[in-house]
């Protein structure tokens, strides 16, 4: 697990330094909460959330650049508002999908998440705060974390997933330690946008 977190943190740092919000294109992701086209955020394609598909199946669907692959994860360069996509597999099947998006889009993302998903709760662990949502069918959780002063991490997982928020908290701490940033203002902004909707 430490190896994955370390690799995840290093990979994220490398990707973020080479990405810009001026990138154009469509990454071909698909959303999970609502039928396509109902609620969208321009420039943000949600990651693939077809739970249970194999790594090979996912790789055959994704058209953007593969950044890293190991036994349990795949990471891809993002497009437009997304800096990086990450996918985690348990027993060879897709179990968690994630997207890193710049905090410059904090307000837009909060509005999008609030319209598309149902707010469940905040989870606070030390200095870390996670915002938890679910789709209307209550089959998928969407967790928004703030792993750095520059990026938000949106994690998607099936409701019955064995994946848990510990991974997100640990990844957040790894990135925070690497960057040395303070996310308190970003947390306040995101929380303010949640409470207004």
pLDDT digits (tens, 9 = 90+) for 36-53: 447 888 889 999 999 999
pLDDT given at position 161 = 60
* Weakest-pLDDT range from 45-54, 55-64, 146-155: 146-155
Q: What is the distance between the alpha carbons of residues 7 and 70, in angstroms, rounded to a whole number?
A: 10
Q: Where are the domains of the chain?
A: 2-196
Kind of pairing between the strands at 66-69 and 82-90: unpaired
Under the banding of pLDDT at 50, 70 and 90, the label for residue 26 is very low
Q: What is the distance between the alpha carbons of residues 92 and 70, in angstroms, rounded to a whole number?
A: 11
Is the pLDDT score of 10 beyond 70?
no
**CA proximity to 68, closest of 2, 3, 7:** 7
Q: What is the distance between the alpha carbons of residues 122 and 71, in angstroms, rounded to a whole number?
A: 31
What CA–CA distances, in Å, run from 161 to 29, 95, 157, 174?
Answer: 20, 7, 6, 23
pLDDT given at position 45 = 93
Give the highest mean pLDDT range of 89-93, 126-130, 146-150, 175-179. Answer: 89-93
Q: What is the distance between the alpha carbons of residues 188 and 95, in angstroms, rounded to a whole number?
A: 30
pTM across the whole model: 0.67
Q: How many CB atoms lie within 10 A of CB 10?
A: 14
Local structure of 117: helix, strand or coil: coil
**Partners of residue 59 on adjacent β-strands:** none
Q: Look at the block and give the residue holding tokens 């908290």.
A: 169
pLDDT given at position 50 = 95
The token pair that represents 51 in the structure block: 């739970």
């Amino acid at each position: 697990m430490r190896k994955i977190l370390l690799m995840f943190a290093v990979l994220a740092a490398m990707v973020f330094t080479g990405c810009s919000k001026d990138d154009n294109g469509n990454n071909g992701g698909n959303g999970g909460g609502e039928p396509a086209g109902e609620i969208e955020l321009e420039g943000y394609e949600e990651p693939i959330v077809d739970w249970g598909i194999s790594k090979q199946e996912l790789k055959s669907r994704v058209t953007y650049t593969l950044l890293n692959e190991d036994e349990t994860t795949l990471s891809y360069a993002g497009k437009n508002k997304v800096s990086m996509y990450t996918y985690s597999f348990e027993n060879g099947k897709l179990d968690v999908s994630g997207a890193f998006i710049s905090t410059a889009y904090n307000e837009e993302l909060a509005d999008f998440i609030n319209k598309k998903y149902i707010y469940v709760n905040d989870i606070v662990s030390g200095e870390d705060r996670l915002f938890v949502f679910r789709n209307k069918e209550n089959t998928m959780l969407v967790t928004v974390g703030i792993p750095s002063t520059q990026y938000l991490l949106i994690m998607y997982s099936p409701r019955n997933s064995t994946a848990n928020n510990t991974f997100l908290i640990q990844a957040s701490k790894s990135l925070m330690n690497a960057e040395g940033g303070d996310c308190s203002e970003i947390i306040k902004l995101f929380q303010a946008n949640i409470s207004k909707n």
